[in-house]
Each structure stands twice: as C-alpha cells, then as structure tokens.
C-alpha cells in the first residue's frame, strides 16, 4: 500500500527536465493525496518551466513510476518553482547559449584560405589538424570546400558520420573530428547549389554536428572569395586565418585578395604558409625552386604578417594497411615541418587568448 513517504521515495530521484536537478533536491513533490479504497494517488509537482513538451514527458514518467509502485490511477498537477527559490539555489534559468557559435564558446577557429586552387590548401589543412591532435589538442575539421571537397579521401576516411539524438556524429580519424560535404553526396556527384543553400549547409556543420569540446576547429575554405568564404567571415567574427600560397608570383598575387578579405572582416591573419617552396633531391640534397622564390615572403609583407613555414614538394610514406594518401607521419621530413608550424600556431593563439 502506498503512503506519502513511499510516493516521495519513488519520485525523489526523478529529474527536472530543464536544470537536471532531482525533485527531491528541489523539494518539489507537494500535496500528496492517496485514496486507499481506489488506490488513487494525486500529487503536485513543481518544475522550473510549465506548459512544455518536456512537462508532458515528465508526466508520463511519473505516472509510470507510480503505477509500477502500486497505484491504480494517478493524478498530477504541475506548478512552477518560485523564482526566489531558484535564485536561492543559484540556478540561472537564462544560461548563456552553448554551442560553437555562442559568445562564450572558447574554441579557436582557424580558416585555411588561398587565392586560387591547386596550391595545396587542403593538404595543409588536414596535416595541421592532425599535427594539432598529435600535440594533445581536441581538434575538429570542417571541409568547407563544398564544391571541391577532398578531405575524406586525403585522410583515408572510408566511413560516414552517424546520427544520434538528431545530431550528426563526426568521423574521427587520427584524433581529428571531421565533417565534409563529401559524406553527404552520392557517387561524387557534382554540387550545383547556389549561395543561400551553401550557407545553410555550412550553418548545419556548425549547429547540427555534435562536436563536443574542441580546442581548435579548422575550416578548409574554398579557394578565392566566393559565397562560402563570405559566409564563414560573417558567421565567425572571431575567426583567425592562415593564407596558403606557392612561391609563384601569380599565386601570391591572388592569395592577397583572400588576405585582404580577412582584414576587411576583422579576421586575424596568423600568417602565411608557403607550399611547394622547392624540390629537394634525395640523391644530392640540392634544392630546385620549381615555382620560383619569394612569393610567400612578399605576400606576408603585404598582409603585415609572417611566414609560418615553407613546405617542400614531396609525398607522404604510404601505409597500405592504413591508407591516408595526404597525411605525413611525424618522423617524415615534411611532417616535422608541420610540427614546427603547428607549435607556432599554438603559441600565437594561446598568447592572444
């Protein structure tokens, strides 16, 4: 037979759906009435917010628990906990928004940009992400090059994201959480969307993905200054940026446009990475400057920043059992350069926090 005390015992561990404190902690189980002849239990429950779908779910849970405890019928009335009591309990019913785009989020955003395609921007993006993860950082990577997505192939990703509780769970590879348009397109189909649709997809990557806690989120931007790059600049007012170029004067000239766009939108340029700086012969050690010299330094001077590093031409050592065609191992000569660049990036972003 149910008593007032047994009703409290049954319900005291049930949690308020909004602040996740138990009804027992909040002294929220009130006005218990038991009609023994009909085995009917009625109770008033105080919660932080009434008239919501969460209240309906809570009602169903309470009815089920009381019936399992022996009640034949259950009656529930809901009321709201007085604001004064919430203040006394130091509960803020208007907490700051959480999520990647919220003001209180402490993730450092770094966009990897270039003026034109073919300079190795995506290769730089994936290797910087992996290098940060090797340093113990919590890292996410968005393949925002929606027309020319290549990150999954570069990292040797063969699985797709899953969905849990209406959130996309990113693919984890080399300690990096990855989301790419390539995961959502069948058979490498062409993308024919216009600007607004691309912006919506990018927004989904920020808001509909369960990123968890991140120290860094890198964005592999499309080359140039098109719609997606503009969306990133408007969505992420606190974003930092790295500009990738080759030593060739033309590549550096067009890369300056991407840098100028970052400056105009008050993004902080961390520096320039010069890719394909030279080819070094394994036989003689002689360096050949295939694409010329000086483009990265000239670009850095124009943007009033520094050259973070110069990467030579070369390819990673491939492991056929764990194939990732664009990831350099830590001990690889170019992998070591990426480590040095990453250390500079961490120092720059830590000093400025």
Residue 4: alpha-carbon gap to chain centroid = 48
325 is a domain residue: yes
CA distance 326 to 153: 8
Co-location of 239 and 303 in the same domain:
yes
Those residues with Cβ within 8 angstroms of residue 283's Cβ, 6 or more apart along the chain or in another chain: none
Going by their DSSP bridges, the two strands 167-169 and 162-164 should be labelled as: antiparallel
Co-location of 82 and 173 in the same domain:
no
pLDDT (0 to 100) of residue 130: 96
Residue that finishes a domain, picked among 88, 123, 142: 88
69 is a domain residue: yes
CA distance 262 to 111: 10
pLDDT for residue 189 is more than 70: no
Give me the percent of the chain exceeding a pLDDT of 90: 38
Co-location of 137 and 83 in the same domain:
no
Report CA-CA distances (Å) from 66 to 3, 6, 62, 63, 246: 11, 10, 6, 5, 70
Co-location of 204 and 241 in the same domain:
yes
Higher pLDDT, 154 or 254: 154
Q: What is the CATH number of the domain that holds 171?
A: 3.40.50.300
Banded model confidence at residue 92, pLDDT cuts 50, 70, 90: low
CA distance 169 to 162: 5
pLDDT (0 to 100) of residue 36: 78
62 is a domain residue: yes
User: What sign does the dihedral 96-98-102-104 (CA atoms) show?
Assistant: positive
Give the 3-state DSSP-derived string for 121-164, with helices as H, strands as E and coil as C. HHHHHHHHHHHHHHCCCCEEEEECCCCCCCHHHHCCCCCCCEEE
CA neighbor of 244 nearest in space, from 341, 348, 349? 341
pLDDT for residue 102 is more than 80: no
Those residues with Cβ within 8 angstroms of residue 192's Cβ, 6 or more apart along the chain or in another chain: none
**Least confident range of 94-108, 215-229, 268-282:** 94-108
Banded model confidence at residue 274, pLDDT cuts 50, 70, 90: very high
Co-location of 193 and 254 in the same domain:
yes
pLDDT for residue 57 is more than 80: yes
Co-location of 79 and 122 in the same domain:
no
The beta strands (E) that lie in 58-146 are given as: 73-80, 108-114, 139-143
Give the DSSP per-residue string, 272-294.
EEE-S--EE-TTT--EE-TT-S-
pLDDT (0 to 100) of residue 318: 85
96 is a domain residue: no
Q: What domain range includes position 254? A: 108-351
Residue that finishes a domain, picked among 26, 56, 88: 88
Co-location of 177 and 296 in the same domain:
yes
239 is a domain residue: yes
Co-location of 131 and 37 in the same domain:
no
Higher pLDDT, 279 or 230: 279
| Residue that has been written with the tokens 């926090």 in this structure | 353
Co-location of 112 and 83 in the same domain:
no
The count of C-alpha atoms lying within 13 angstroms of the C-alpha of 3, restricted to the half-sphere facing its C-beta, is 2
**In the predicted model, what is the mean pLDDT of residues 79-99?**
67
pLDDT for residue 87 is more than 80: no
Highest mean pLDDT among 33-37, 128-132, 243-247, 268-272: 128-132
CA distance 221 to 122: 8
99 is a domain residue: no
pTM reported for the whole predicted model: 0.69
**In the predicted model, what is the mean pLDDT of residues 85-102?**
62
Q: In 3-state terms, what secondary structure has residue 28?
A: coil
Higher pLDDT, 21 or 86: 21
Q: What is the CATH number of the domain that holds 30?
A: 3.30.300.130
Co-location of 157 and 278 in the same domain:
yes
pLDDT (0 to 100) of residue 98: 55
Banded model confidence at residue 244, pLDDT cuts 50, 70, 90: very high
**In the predicted model, what is the mean pLDDT of residues 194-212?**
73
Tally of domains in the chain: 2
Co-location of 48 and 143 in the same domain:
no
pLDDT (0 to 100) of residue 134: 95
**Least confident range of 258-262, 297-301, 307-311:** 258-262
Co-location of 116 and 232 in the same domain:
yes
pLDDT for residue 18 is more than 90: no
CA neighbor of 235 nearest in space, from 197, 194, 267, 268? 267
267 is a domain residue: yes
94 is a domain residue: no
């Amino acid at each position: 037979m149910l008593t007032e005390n047994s009703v409290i015992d049954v319900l005291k561990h049930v949690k308020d759906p909004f602040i996740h404190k138990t009804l027992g902690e909040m002294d929220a189980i009130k006005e218990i009435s038991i009609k023994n002849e009909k085995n009917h239990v009625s109770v008033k429950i105080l919660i932080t917010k009434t008239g919501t779908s969460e209240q309906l779910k809570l009602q169903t849970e309470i009815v089920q628990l009381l019936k399992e405890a022996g009640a034949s019928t259950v009656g529930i009335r809901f009321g709201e906990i007085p604001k004064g009591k919430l203040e006394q309990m130091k509960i803020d019913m208007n907490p700051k928004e959480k999520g990647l785009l919220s003001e209180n989020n402490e993730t450092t955003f770094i966009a990897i940009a270039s003026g034109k395609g073919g300079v190795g921007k995506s290769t730089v993006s994936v290797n910087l992400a992996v290098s940060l993860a090797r340093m113990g950082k919590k890292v996410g990577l968005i393949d925002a090059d929606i027309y020319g997505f290549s990150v999954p192939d570069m990292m040797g990703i063969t699985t797709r994201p899953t969905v849990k509780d209406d959130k996309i769970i990113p693919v984890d590879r080399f300690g990096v959480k990855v989301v790419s348009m390539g995961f959502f397109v069948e058979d490498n189909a062409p993308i024919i969307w216009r600007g607004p649709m691309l912006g919506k997809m990018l927004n989904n990557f920020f808001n509909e993905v369960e990123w968890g806690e991140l120290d860094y989120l890198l964005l592999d931007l499309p080359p140039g200054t098109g719609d997606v790059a503009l969306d990133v600049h408007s969505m992420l007012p606190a974003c930092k940026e790295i500009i990738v170029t080759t030593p060739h004067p033309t590549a550096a000239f067009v890369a300056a446009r991407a840098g100028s766009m970052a400056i105009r939108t008050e993004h902080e340029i961390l520096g320039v990475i010069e890719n394909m700086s030279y080819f070094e012969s394994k036989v003689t050690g002689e360096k050949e400057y295939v694409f010329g010299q000086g483009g990265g330094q000239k670009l850095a001077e124009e943007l009033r920043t520094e050259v973070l590093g110069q990467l030579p031409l070369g390819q990673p050592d491939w492991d056929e059992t764990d194939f990732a065609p664009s990831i350099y191992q830590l001990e690889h000569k170019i992998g070591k350069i990426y480590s040095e660049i990453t250390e500079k990036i961490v120092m720059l972003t830590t000093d400025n926090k």
